Amino acid sequence: GPSPPPPFGSPTTAAFVEVGVGRPVAMPVEPGEVQLMMGVQKRVRALSDVVCGDISELYKMGSELGFGRFSTVRAAESLGTGKRFALKVVENESLNDDENLVALEQEVKILRMLEHPYVVKLKEVVTTPDRTYLSMELLNGGELFEKIVEVGSFPEPEAAVVFARLVAAVDFLHARDVVHRDLKPENILFVEGKERIPTDIKVIDFGYADQMP
């Protein structure tokens, strides 16, 4: 049978198309483009905790939860533990744009530094030939923004708790020279949000975050 296509970033080719049934045909690219893709692959793999052929080896993918500049977020279930997570899905092709790759590197670096009750936790980074996945805890309670729209003004006791927890999270970040740079009600989620006026917040989305020198 035909030989399988080389991995993403192969020095012989950077793209394949399917002709007929299962017959990959190499599409030539410029040498400079191949080198860029190989460099991207090396940097992405340096971020990763796990490299595998397909995400279905590790997770059962669920519904889409949202999207960002160059990513989508989907619910997923770990095949190993049965626990549910939120997977930020990044197409590796988008990382040929160095601005995107630097942003991803920074986000992963910062998330790995953070262990706080009011900040979302990163479980692992998984890379496949086509995509990179950031596996994070799944927060089911919805956005602070949505809850404000739903109920209007929070009563003072609950508002005070939410604000105190948000300040604690920001203080924790700033103590580590991390600035979020996109802090808004849409990026504050409730863990469960079972109460009519919940207070169990976590700060999410560190895609714009930076660490000051």
Which residues form the catalytic set? Answer: 182
- Measured CA to CA, the distance from residue 186 to residue 184 in angstroms comes to 5
Q: How far is CA 179 from the centre of its chain?
A: 18
- What's the rounded Cα separation, in Å, for the pair 88 and 99? 17
Q: Please check whether residue 92 is in contact with residue 101, taking contact to mean a CB–CB distance below 8 angstroms.
A: no
User: Residue 141's CB: how many other CB atoms inside 10 A?
Assistant: 18
Give the C-alpha separation, 170 to 184, whole Å. Answer: 12
CA 60 to chain centre: 16
| C-alpha distance from residue 160 to each of 17, 115, 139, 157 (Å) | 57, 23, 21, 5
Residue with tokens 């105190």: 164
Which residue has 């009750």 as its token pair?
Answer: 117
Alpha helices in 90-143 (DSSP H): 98-113
**Position 61, amino acid:** M
Structure letter (DSSP) for residue 56: G
Is 88 assigned a ligand-binding role in the annotation?
yes
Residue positions in the annotated binding site for ATP? 88
Binding site members: 88
